[in-house]
């Protein structure tokens, strides 16, 4: 949005604030802001969600969960999805306005995306992120923000929100009093780049503060992080909002203040404009008692009104006011969601059984707690699809008409709290075994769902407040897979989970594994399309799948040592960037010179030497030759999908930008500390495990800064 327009709106907002009394000013900073009729200001509720579709307000297109969309490694497509989400949010808002409906989840301020770094696979909310890599998260976060906000120079389509600022990725249990202790190097190298990109490149309209403290200071009252870094150095000019209840934590849990009035004053003084919660009900008292200046209060009210005007509120002739309600979950959007689900699934193993020949199997057993489970389609922060297609439904739709498709749950996700659970589990397990024995093929639908992993208070798992204490499948599923393995039936595993799962046993004992993440409302159709060859798998892992969690650091430790592919010293089961396909391609030629003018242009020739049209992912990694400040392992610095037709060759121009040739020192300063760099280009990462699994070679060349 053009700066000149924003400045004009800010002046209009200032004139409105000058006409308000203290009570009216304070009311504008509540998330459920009441109207001021005499000034023509209607009531507005700031709280809405759009993580992978318009959430929590009835029917909407449900796209794959964010972690699945990250596996697409496709910023352009993610931007297109963001635009669809914004379109449906506008359609709902327009219709609600016609009927005078104002309330939570009815507005245009979407508190998405979540661009925290998925540093530890045990974090239940990791499913909401774009994975473990700061570069990938930055690119995808910017793309989704741009999609949500649109490209109109005068109006935002919706207002995106980068959350949770900053250094927030668990634990869920204790998040309201937790202090994230992190060094300056990790802070600027890993945890902040996506937020900086969201502001500088995405021009994000909002930033949400986290629950936790950062190095002893509350994030929603962190004056240096909000005023100096975010607004000062990065130039953020949108509204800052607290996570819900975070300001209450100041006095109740973090104990940095003593009263609600002090907490409200601290937050506004630091630059937190909107309070999700009820602590800003105490703002009037805070001003009257001298805890907060009215000047600080005015600053936030002006910002809040400016942000509303950027959306076309309190203005005339907003072009988005004409978006009709019938676009919500329309056929075009449904088809796009299925395509996204197909592109987000990652094939981890295939011994040749896939794609399935539909006429080869007279009977298929679809077994497991996720086989007929809507929750594992949705992910969290979701809307409601007008139609759900689970994995059983999808397979029935695509199997040969003479093929019998049988279903058995086999077990719960975990042992239920029921006096007769043992008997019920044994009955369920025996049914699954019988069903499998009497079928030609087994599709084993395993994993988790958002009732098991997610945000504290939403997930109801019996141990971790939404987090996981182990990377293994829950115990009932371990028993199920062992029994199915004993049958020696052709078996395909479909995994639904928002994070990495230890699949060592499944990898050793079954024919194929497809990681579907949480694939959206019609995800069962997308998975079936992939299984039966109606679509080609081409997703790549945005996270590392470890063999186990024995050598992972303590979950509460925010130091990056031995975390994520950039610093991991072990051998993963499946590495970051890995993914198999029915298509076959190879890098035939790479051209690059030394680094001039800061950036490095690369020309890559990719040959499709298989029988499938598909979009292989070219990945570029960098490693300084000498600097001790560089990440331990080569780090992703560029990527792009290359549409190729079977038997044809495509040429890709890709650029490594100048930031890739810098490192972060222990003071948090980004510096040039090397003259030579190894550049790796291939269709997988340059690590030994990726090369072993894919059979690909990775091109490597040393370049110099000149």
- Asked if the bond preceding 317 is cis, omega within 30° of 0, the reply is no
Mean per-residue pLDDT, 17-25: 98
pLDDT for residue 674: 94
Distance CA 661, CA 622 (A): 8
The phi, psi pair for 279, rounded to 5°, reads: -70, -25
Mean per-residue pLDDT, 451-466: 77
pTM: 0.97
pLDDT for residue 465: 77
Res. 222 pLDDT band, cuts 50 70 90: very high
pLDDT for residue 418: 72
Distance CA 666, CA 507 (A): 40
Task: Sheet containing 217-218: give its strands across.
Answer: 179-180, 213-214, 217-218
Strands 663-664 and 670-671 turn out to be antiparallel
Task: Give 479-504 pLDDT, tens digit per residue.
Answer: 999 999 999 999 999 999 999 999 99
Task: Give 296-348 pLDDT, tens digit per residue.
Answer: 999 999 999 999 999 999 998 899 999 999 999 999 999 999 999 999 999 99
Mean per-residue pLDDT, 642-650: 96
Q: If we measure between CA atoms, which residue out of 439, 243, 475 comes closest to residue 360? A: 439
Catalytic machinery residues: 243, 453
Which residues are within 8 A (CB) of 326 and not within 5 positions of it... i.e. 6 or more apart?
91
Res. 460 pLDDT band, cuts 50 70 90: low
pLDDT for residue 63: 98
The vertex-34 CA angle with 29 and 36, nearest 5°, equals 100
Q: If we measure between CA atoms, which residue out of 212, 193, 205, 200 comes closest to residue 240? A: 205
- Asked if the bond preceding 363 is cis, omega within 30° of 0, the reply is no
Mean per-residue pLDDT, 385-389: 97
Q: If we measure between CA atoms, which residue out of 441, 411, 404 comes closest to residue 425? A: 411
Strands 649-656 and 617-624 turn out to be unpaired
265-269, 381-385, 423-427, 513-517: segment of lowest average pLDDT: 423-427
Q: What burial class does residue 597 get, using C-beta atoms within 10 Å of its C-beta: 0-12 exposed, 13-18 middle, 19+ buried?
A: exposed
Distance CA 144, CA 113 (A): 7
In this predicted structure, the answer to whether residue 79 has a pLDDT above a threshold of 70 is yes
Distance CA 408, CA 368 (A): 7
Give residue for tokens 């070679």.
697
Give residue for tokens 């049914």.
431
Task: Give 414-454 pLDDT, tens digit per residue.
Answer: 877 676 778 778 889 999 999 999 999 999 999 999 988 99
The DSSP output letter for 500 is -
Query: Residue 234 — left, alpha, or beta (φ > 0 → left; ψ -120 to 50 → alpha)?
Result: alpha
Distance CA 164, CA 317 (A): 33
Strands 404-408 and 44-45 turn out to be unpaired
pLDDT for residue 432: 97
Q: Which domains does the chain have, with CATH numbers?
A: 3-327 (3.20.20.300), 335-567 (3.40.50.1700), 585-704 (2.60.40.10)
Distance CA 661, CA 637 (A): 9
The vertex-60 CA angle with 54 and 66, nearest 5°, equals 50
Give residue for tokens 């930031």.
659
Q: What is the DSSP string of 5-17?
A: HHHHHHHHHHHHH
Q: How far is CA 603 from CA 203, 590, 651, in A?
A: 30, 6, 7
In this predicted structure, the answer to whether residue 615 has a pLDDT above a threshold of 90 is yes
In this predicted structure, the answer to whether residue 408 has a pLDDT above a threshold of 90 is yes
Q: If we measure between CA atoms, which residue out of 645, 399, 443, 643 comes closest to residue 533? A: 399
Distance CA 697, CA 686 (A): 8
pLDDT for residue 115: 98
Sign of the torsion angle spanned by Cα atoms 446, 449, 455, 461 = negative
In this predicted structure, the answer to whether residue 478 has a pLDDT above a threshold of 70 is yes
Work out the widest C-alpha separation in the chain, in whole angstroms. 79
pLDDT for residue 369: 96
Distance CA 29, CA 35 (A): 12
pLDDT for residue 706: 79
Mean per-residue pLDDT, 97-121: 97
Measured in whole angstroms, how far is the alpha carbon of residue 20 from the centre of its chain? Answer: 40
**Element of type H or E holding 604:** strand 600-608
Residue with more model confidence, 598 or 169: 169
In this predicted structure, the answer to whether residue 654 has a pLDDT above a threshold of 80 is yes
Mean per-residue pLDDT, 663-674: 96
In this predicted structure, the answer to whether residue 549 has a pLDDT above a threshold of 80 is yes
Q: H helices of 354-450, where? A: 375-378, 391-398, 421-437
Res. 463 pLDDT band, cuts 50 70 90: low
Residue with more model confidence, 415 or 170: 170
Residue 615, both tokens = 């979009």
In this predicted structure, the answer to whether residue 168 has a pLDDT above a threshold of 90 is yes
pLDDT for residue 594: 81
């Amino acid at each position: 949005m053009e700066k000149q327009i924003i400045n004009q709106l800010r002046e209009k907002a200032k004139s409105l604030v000058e006409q308000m009394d203290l009570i009216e000013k304070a009311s504008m900073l509540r998330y459920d802001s009441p109207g001021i009729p005499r000034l023509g200001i209607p009531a507005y509720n700031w709280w809405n969600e759009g993580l992978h579709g318009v959430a929590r307000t009835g029917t909407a297109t449900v796209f794959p969960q964010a972690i699945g969309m990250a596996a697409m490694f496709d910023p352009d497509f993610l931007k297109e999805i963001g635009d669809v989400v914004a379109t449906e949010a506008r359609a709902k808002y327009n219709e609600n306005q016609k009927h005078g409906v104002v309330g939570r989840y009815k507005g245009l301020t979407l508190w998405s995306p979540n661009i925290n770094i998925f540093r530890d696979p045990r974090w239940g909310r990791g499913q909401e992120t774009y994975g473990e890599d700061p570069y990938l998260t930055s690119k995808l976060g910017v793309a989704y923000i741009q999609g949500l906000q649109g490209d109109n120079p005068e109006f935002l389509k919706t207002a995106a929100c980068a959350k949770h600022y900053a250094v927030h990725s668990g634990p869920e249990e204790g998040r309201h009093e937790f202090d994230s202790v992190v060094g300056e190097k990790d802070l600027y190298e890993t945890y902040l780049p996506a937020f900086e990109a969201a502001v500088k490149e995405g021009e994000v309209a909002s930033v949400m503060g986290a629950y936790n403290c950062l190095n002893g200071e509350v994030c929603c009252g962190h004056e240096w992080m909000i005023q100096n870094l975010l607004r000062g150095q990065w130039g953020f000019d949108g509204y800052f909002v607290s996570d819900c209840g975070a300001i209450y934590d100041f006095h109740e849990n973090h104990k940095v203040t003593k009263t609600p009035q002090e907490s409200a004053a601290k937050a506004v003084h630091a630059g937190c404009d909107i309070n999700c919660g009820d602590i800003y009900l105490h703002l009037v008292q805070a001003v009257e008692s001298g805890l907060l200046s009215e000047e600080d209060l005015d600053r936030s009210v002006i910002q809040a009104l400016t942000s509303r005007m950027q959306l076309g509120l309190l203005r005339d002739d907003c072009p988005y006011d004409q978006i009709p309600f019938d676009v919500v979950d329309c056929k075009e959007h449904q088809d796009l969601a299925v395509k996204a689900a197909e592109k987000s699934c990652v094939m981890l193993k295939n011994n040749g059984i896939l794609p399935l020949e539909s006429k080869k199997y007279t009977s298929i057993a679809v077994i497991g707690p996720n086989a007929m489970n809507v929750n594992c389609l949705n992910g969290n922060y979701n809307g409601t699809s007008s139609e759900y297609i689970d994995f059983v439904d999808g397979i029935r739709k695509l199997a040969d008409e003479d093929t019998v498709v049988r279903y058995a749950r086999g077990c719960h996700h975990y042992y239920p709290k029921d006096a007769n659970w043992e008997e019920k589990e044994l009955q369920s397990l025996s049914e699954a075994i019988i069903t499998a024995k009497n079928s030609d093929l087994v599709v084993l639908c395993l994993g988790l769902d958002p009732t098991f992993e997610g945000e504290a208070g939403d997930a109801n798992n019996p141990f971790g407040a939404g987090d996981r204490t182990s990377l293994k499948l829950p115990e009932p599923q371990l028993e199920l897979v062992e029994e199915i393995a004993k049958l020696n039936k052709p078996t395909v595993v479909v995994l639904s989970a928002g994070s990495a799962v230890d699949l060592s046993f499944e990898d050793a004992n079954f024919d194929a594994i497809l990681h579907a993440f949480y694939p959206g409302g019609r995800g069962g159709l997308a998975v079936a399309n992939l299984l039966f060859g109606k679509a080609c798998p081409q997703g790549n892992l945005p996270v590392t799948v470890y063999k186990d969690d024995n050598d992972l650091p303590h979950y509460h430790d925010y130091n990056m040592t031995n975390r994520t592919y950039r610093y991991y010293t072990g051998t993963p089961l499946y590495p970051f960037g890995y993914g198999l396909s029915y298509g076959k391609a190879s890098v035939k030629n790479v051209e690059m010179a030394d680094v001039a003018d800061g950036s490095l242009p690369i020309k890559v020739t990719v040959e499709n030497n298989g029988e499938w049209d598909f979009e292989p992912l070219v990945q570029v990694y960098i490693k300084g030759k000498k600097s001790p400040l560089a990440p331990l392992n080569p780090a992703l610095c560029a990527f792009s999908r290359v549409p190729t037709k079977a038997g044809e060759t495509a040429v890709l121009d890709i650029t490594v930008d100048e930031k890739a040739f810098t490192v972060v020192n222990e003071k948090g300063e980004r510096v040039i500390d090397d003259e030579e760099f190894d550049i790796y280009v291939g269709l997988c990462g340059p690590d030994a495990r990726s090369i072993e699994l894919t059979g690909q070679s990775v091109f490597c060349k040393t370049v110099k800064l000149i």
